[in-house]
Structure formats: structure tokens, C-alpha cells
């Protein structure tokens, strides 16, 4: 079993910054992929940024250049540095973990079996 928990959400004005954190703890498994997703009411959950255990990253087009994902393997921790935030970044942000991965950490929901409860990010104009 893998326990996932996020922290660091909040409210900020457009153009501001926030940093999200996540820990994925397990006594039995190593974590292959750690990824951030986000979701707004009535919409599907979308992948934001992923990182594998070697540090290879992938970003959604909507956040590339503004968001930076990083990972501390020793702590099984995941981070998302969000800069130049926009009102359309407002969402519930979820951390997800996968213990197995094909060739890359995809930004797709079915790949991930372990999820946190989410942390709210609100960006006002």
C-alpha cells in the first residue's frame, strides 16, 4: 500500500506563486512515477506534470514554462513550484503515485493507483 498526501495549496492573486508538496510513503514499494493532476467542477481530471525516479519530467502545454516539478527520492517527496499563476489555474490539485511505469510517466489518470485527497489552489484576477 502507498499513502499519498498533499499540502501547500492556498489563494493567490494572478501573477503570484505557490509551492505544493506531496509525500508518498510505502514500506513495500518503490515509487516509479509521481505526478500532479488538477480538476475543476464538471471537468475531467487533467495531468499537469510528472517526474520519474531518474528525474525525467513531462508537462502539460498549459503549464510548461510556468510550473516546475521536482522530486526528492530519499524522502519520497514531490513538489510543484507554480509561478505566474493565472485564474484558469484554479483547481483542486492532486498528487498521484505509480509503482510501475512503462517507458515514461504519462499524464493520464489510469496509470496511477495511489492518490492524495487534494489541495485547493485559487487564483484571483
Per-residue pLDDT of the chain (125 residues; tens, 9 = 90+): 899 999 999 999 999 999 999 999 887 888 999 999 999 999 999 999 999 999 999 999 999 999 999 999 999 899 999 999 999 999 999 999 999 877 789 999 999 999 999 999 999 99
pLDDT value at residue 88: 97
Q: CA-based angle 46:48:53, to the nearest 5? A: 120
Cell of 115: 492518490
Helix, coil or strand: residue 87: helix
Q: How far apart are CA 99 and CA 106, in angstroms?
A: 13
Torsion (CA) 20, 102, 2, 56 in degrees, nearest 10: -30
pLDDT at position 30 is 86
Do 20 and 7 touch, CB atoms closer than 8 A?
yes
Return the pLDDT at 104: 85
Strand partners, 57: 51
Tell me the helices (H) and strands (E) count for the chain, helix number first: 0, 11
The torsion angle over the Cα atoms of residues 57, 87, 120 and 22, rounded to 10 degrees, is 20
The rounded distance, in Å, linking the Cα atoms of 15 and 22 is 23
What's the confidence (pLDDT) of residue 1? 85
CB atoms within 10 A of CB 111: 19
pLDDT of residue 28: 81
Amino acid at each position: 500500500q502507498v499513502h499519498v498526501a498533499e499540502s501547500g495549496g492556498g489563494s493567490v492573486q494572478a501573477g503570484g506563486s505557490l509551492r505544493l508538496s506531496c509525500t508518498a510513503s510505502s514500506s513495500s514499494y518503490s515509487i516509479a512515477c509521481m505526478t500532479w493532476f488538477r480538476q475543476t467542477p464538471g471537468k475531467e481530471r487533467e495531468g499537469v506534470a510528472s517526474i520519474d525516479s531518474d528525474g525525467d519530467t513531462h508537462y502539460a502545454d498549459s503549464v510548461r514554462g510556468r510550473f516546475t516539478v521536482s522530486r526528492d527520492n530519499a524522502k519520497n517527496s514531490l513538489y510543484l513550484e507554480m509561478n505566474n499563476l493565472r485564474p484558469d489555474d484554479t483547481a483542486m490539485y492532486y498528487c498521484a503515485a505509480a509503482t510501475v511505469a512503462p517507458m515514461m510517466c504519462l499524464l493520464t489518470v489510469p496509470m496511477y493507483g495511489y492518490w492524495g485527497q487534494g489541495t485547493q489552489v485559487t487564483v484571483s484576477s
